[in-house]
Chain A
Amino acid sequence: MAEVHVIGQILGATGFSESSLFCKWGVHTGAAWKLLSGVREGQTQVDTPQVGDMAYWSHPIDLHFATKGLQGWPRLHLQVWSQDSFGRCQLAGYGFCHVPSSPGTHQLDCPTWRPLGSWREQLARAFVGGGPQLLHGDAIYSGADRYRLHTAAGGTVHLELGLLLRHFDRYGVEC
């Protein structure tokens, strides 16, 4: 089986109006992929930046996959949340990005969005916070049910992922 190593960091986020941010992340793969070692999902620390407006998480990712097929190449799904001074959390954005398919180090910028909801919900969010969230996280990384949603732009999550491939050339796969 061919092997893929994904090694890198979720660096941080820019462009969010909220200041104390954290990120829940996960990796989704197709059925042909098997995670040999590493953790598939996690949550970063909450950062309140003092310099500039980028929240830094420096969250390490180290995944080792074995695969029998190319379908379902790993994708990373992200949820950015903000935390207020009382410890309450509010959704700031959803986003996903494919793990790059060529070996080497990649800088990724993942744009995010959040569900908008009805005008009542928007008004309530402006005054008391909260706001609509997805019931099922799979809408973040699949395009199947997206057409039901009305969304607004969030900030951008920055990642640096290194990709190391093994034995792809043995099967004639060019990445």
Chain B
Amino acid sequence: MAAAGPSVFLLMVNGQVESAQFPEYDDLYCKYCFVYGQDWAPTAGLEEGISQITSKSQDVRQALVWNFPIDVTFKSTNPYGWPQIVLSVYGPDVFGNDVVRGYGAVHVPFSPGRTSVCENICFRHKRTIPMFVPESTSKLQKFTSWFMGRRPEYTDPKVVAQGEGREVTRVRSQGFVTLLFNVVTKDMRKLGYDTGPPDTQGVLGPSPPPGLPR
């Protein structure tokens, strides 16, 4: 390999944490962070953030809008461990303490790469991700957590991006967060990867309303 080809590829992700739907809760804020494999490293931008507190809109949408920006660039040699964004939403309970209202995670979309003229193709994705909270498994813990006003939480929200050890957790899904992504990759095609045709999800008209069974 004397003709030095690229050995790393770049993944630029930007977008926003657009809005949320939590029918039962109000005055929420959102934290995000990225979880990625060993071969990955962030090169620019912020890999975590914390949003403002938003209240529900006074119309029928009852939308919680954050419009919170995401902008980060990663480099890697191997797609294994593709970055996931982990979201956690918090809000006050009746005593005014901040408690968690939902955790969620989703993989950063693959970039499309179909045109040979242009190495970098930008594309916009809209993802609605379900948010869930862990539940106590025993009746006693359920009672004490209700009595003390302390909900079970994950000590590290990054566990929602891991597949292992989930069989012991019981959760309750109770809301949705909508994310917008723009994704650009560089040199993936040169490294021999085929990411397929552009993903047309989210550009053709509005996405179906979240929370409804498909």
Q: Footprint of B on A, CB under 8 Å?
A: 5, 7-9, 11-12, 14-15, 20, 22, 36-39, 42-56, 58-62, 64, 83, 87, 102-105, 109, 158, 162-170, 175
Q: A12-B130, A42-B163, A158-B214 are in contact. Are A47 and B196 (CB under 8 A)?
A: no
Q: A5-B79, A42-B166, A164-B79 are in contact. Are A49 and B172 (CB under 8 A)?
A: yes
- Which residues from chain B contact A165 at a C-beta distance below 8 Å? 193-194
- Which residues from chain B contact A48 at a C-beta distance below 8 Å? 135, 170-173
B82 at the interface (CB under 8 A from A): yes
B122 at the interface (CB under 8 A from A): no
Residue with the greatest number of chain A CB neighbours at <10 A, chosen from B135, B137, B164, B213? B213
Partner of B199 from the list A87, A102, A104, A167 (CB cut-off 8 Å) is A104
Bound-complex Cα distance A46 to B162 (A):
15
Q: List 30 A-B contacts (CB under 8 A).
A: A5-B80, A7-B110, A9-B107, A37-B80, A38-B80, A42-B164, A43-B167, A45-B132, A45-B169, A47-B132, A47-B170, A48-B172, A49-B173, A50-B24, A50-B174, A55-B173, A58-B105, A59-B166, A60-B105, A60-B161, A61-B163, A62-B37, A103-B197, A104-B110, A104-B197, A164-B196, A165-B194, A169-B194, A170-B192, A175-B194
B173 close to A50 (CB less than 8 A): yes
- Which residues from chain A contact B192 at a C-beta distance below 8 Å? 166-167, 170
Bound-complex Cα distance A158 to B128 (A):
14
Tell me the B131-177 residues at the A interface (CB within 8 Å): 132, 135, 137, 160-164, 166-167, 169-176
A163 close to B107 (CB less than 8 A): no
Bound-complex Cα distance A61 to B81 (A):
10
B181 to chain A, nearest CB (A): 12
A105 close to B110 (CB less than 8 A): yes
Bound-complex Cα distance A28 to B208 (A):
33
Tell me the B162-214 residues at the A interface (CB within 8 Å): 162-164, 166-167, 169-176, 191-197, 199, 201, 211-214
B171 close to A51 (CB less than 8 A): no
A34 to chain B, nearest CB (A): 14
Q: Between A and B, how many residue pairs show CB distances below 8 Å?
A: 140
A164 close to B166 (CB less than 8 A): no
Residue with the greatest number of chain A CB neighbours at <10 A, chosen from B79, B130, B193? B130
B129 at the interface (CB under 8 A from A): yes
Q: Footprint of A on B, CB under 8 Å?
A: 23-24, 37, 78-82, 84, 104-107, 109-110, 112, 129-130, 132, 135, 137, 160-164, 166-167, 169-176, 191-197, 199, 201, 211-214
A39 to chain B, nearest CB (A): 6
Q: A5-B80, A47-B171, A105-B196 are in contact. Are A162 and B110 (CB under 8 A)?
A: yes
B195 close to A104 (CB less than 8 A): yes
B166 close to A64 (CB less than 8 A): no
- Which residues from chain B contact A20 at a C-beta distance below 8 Å? 170
- Which residues from chain A contact B194 at a C-beta distance below 8 Å? 103, 164-166, 168-169, 175
